[in-house]
Amino acid sequence: MIALHGVTVAVPALTPPGTKTLLDGVSIDLAEHRIALIGANGSGKSTLLRLLNGLIVPTQGRVDVEGHDTRRDAAAVRRLVGFTFTDPLSQLVLPTPLDDVELSLRSRVRDREARQAQARAWLARYGLADVAERSIYDLSGGERQLAALVSVLAVQPSVLVCDEPTTLLDLRNRNLVAQVLADLPHQVIIATHDLELAAQSERVIVIDAGRVVADGDPETAIAAYRALLA
Amino acid sequence: MRPTDALLGSYRPGTSPWHRVGVGWKYLAVLVLTLPALFVQEPWVTASALALTVGCLLLTGLPARVTLALSWGLLVLLAVLAAFQVLIGQPALAFVVPGNVLLAVLAARLIIVTTRPAVLIDALVSAADRVPFVDGERFGLSVGVMLRSIPYLMGAFYDVRDAARARGLERHWIARLTPVVVRAVGFAQATGDALAARGLGERSSDR
């Protein structure tokens, strides 16, 4: 389970008072299998997600991932929590899906042949066998997003955190990625503006100005969000 | 060839002897092709090495527009190098210096277009691990990320150039360069985050 204890994140700002608070005293437990974070642009969703993987650490408070403090034990946290970014081109650091998935496998599989075979198997599992050696620039948006997802899944995390996984996709690719996420056995925590995707979660958390302003079943939380932005 | 690949190229699958030979042999071949020209500094040596390298690239079985394409940026650089040698009174080097730069680019392309990046990184890691105080994994990963970054940055340059043209600012160098620099910094930040999120690039002792 992931637990945030009184988490505040503040960053330096050029205007008075000299700091900007991105998250303000957030305390929540994240135990459900499917959780969605929704909120306006700049509300603090992505900041909260980045805390879960240890990409950023709280200014105050603590984030525990299965008993590991993200500040003290970042390497263990990153093994447990996979993270996909909004733009897969920022995430895919090598030129083809096959190379990128192999990169994820490097620390666990030293033999090159075995590593390549495993990478191909991972890509085939998600329907990417035919594009394994294609340049990431030649993939469709959905294929890119899936390739980025597979690169993270190959690390075998127990939790998957996705920052706006459908934002850059057309309807067909959005449905494809949503279905893949729905079928994963992992705990999946997403930040999204896609309310239809959020509605498929067990729990929806609404963030506004760095605070949790609604938290509950999708119907109630999404209604609260609509009311907030009305 | 995509404009973003126009400098060093990118891996293209194939069945040629160059694709099948081990990466260590490819490195050796590149050294044999380039070092004599770099050390001897004679036009006939540079010309011979260029001819041999072009021959090797044709043997990859890949289209010449992939292996031999030269971007405008590179051609301008070569022309500037040649003009500079003439201006400083060394016309004999006006062919040798740009020729050797071109030779290095084409020879590097010979490895890059025929070798999967994962194999390239393995070879670099293996070599770097033998050097004292060098973390081979981090070195190999750095080179891999660098090779991936070149087409991204060239793509950013072309995007920004088109955006500047669309606003009638094609001659405004600040409008063309500033967004590329900003994107480069953003890309470096995003790549760092992407690597960190997967636990890649951490010191071996942290894994």
Q: Roughly how many angstroms between the first and final C-alpha of chain B, as a whole number? A: 39
**CA atoms within a 13 Å half-sphere pointing along the CA-CB vector of B46:** 19
CA B31, CA A102: separation in Å to the nearest integer?
A: 28
Alpha-carbon span A56 to A45, nearest angstrom: 13
Count of all residues that appear for chain A in the document: 230
The 10s digit of each residue's pLDDT in A85-124 is 888 888 888 888 998 999 889 878 888 889 999 999 999 9
> In the prediction, which pLDDT does A65 show?
94
With a CB cutoff of 8 Å and minimum separation 6, the contacts of B139 are B124, B125, B128
With tokens 């190379």, the residue in question is: A99
Flag whether pLDDT at B88 surpasses 80.
Answer: yes
Q: Which amino acid is at B38?
A: L
For residue A111, report the phi and psi dihedrals to the nearest 5 degrees: -75, 125
Report the predicted TM-score, pTM, of the whole model to 2 decimal places. 0.78
The interface predicted TM-score (ipTM) is 0.74
Q: Structural domain boundaries of chain B?
A: 3-115, 136-206
Helix%, strand%, coil% for chain B, nearest 5: 75, 0, 25
Tokens of A68: 């590991």
Confidence of residue B136 (pLDDT cuts 50, 70, 90): confident
Residue A214's pLDDT is: 95
Chain B residues in contact with chain A using a Cβ-Cβ cutoff of 8 Å: 2, 4, 10-11, 13, 116-119, 121-122, 137, 141, 144-145, 147-148, 151-152, 155, 187, 190-191, 193-200, 202, 206-207
B117-122 mean pLDDT: 84
Domain ranges of chain A: 2-229
Neighbours of A16 (CB within 10 A): 6
Question: Most B CBs within 10 Å: which of A94, A115, A118, as the mutation test of the B interface?
Answer: A94
Average pLDDT, stretch B177-198?
84
CATH class belonging to A2-229: alpha beta
Identify the pLDDT of residue B7. Answer: 62
The per-residue pLDDT for A185 is 93
Cβ contact B1:B9 at 8 Å: yes
Among A54-58, A193-197, B132-136, whose mean pLDDT is lowest?
B132-136
Q: Who contacts B101 (Cβ-Cβ below 8 Å, separation ≥6)?
A: B77, B78, B81
**What is the distance between the alpha carbons of residues B190 and B185, in angstroms, rounded to a whole number?**
9
Cβ–Cβ < 8 Å for A121, A148: no
Question: H/E element holding B70?
Answer: none
Bond preceding residue A17 cis, omega within 30 of 0: yes
The C-alpha of B152 sits at a distance from chain A's nearest C-alpha, in angstroms, of 9
Burial (0-12, 13-18, 19+ Cβ within 10 Å), A81: buried
CB contacts, 8 Å: A106 with chain B: 137, 200
Residue range A11-57, pLDDT digits in tens: 888 888 888 899 999 999 999 999 999 999 999 999 999 999 988 99
For residue A193, what are its two tokens? 């503006």
Residue A69, strand partner residues = A64
- Average pLDDT (B116-143) is 83
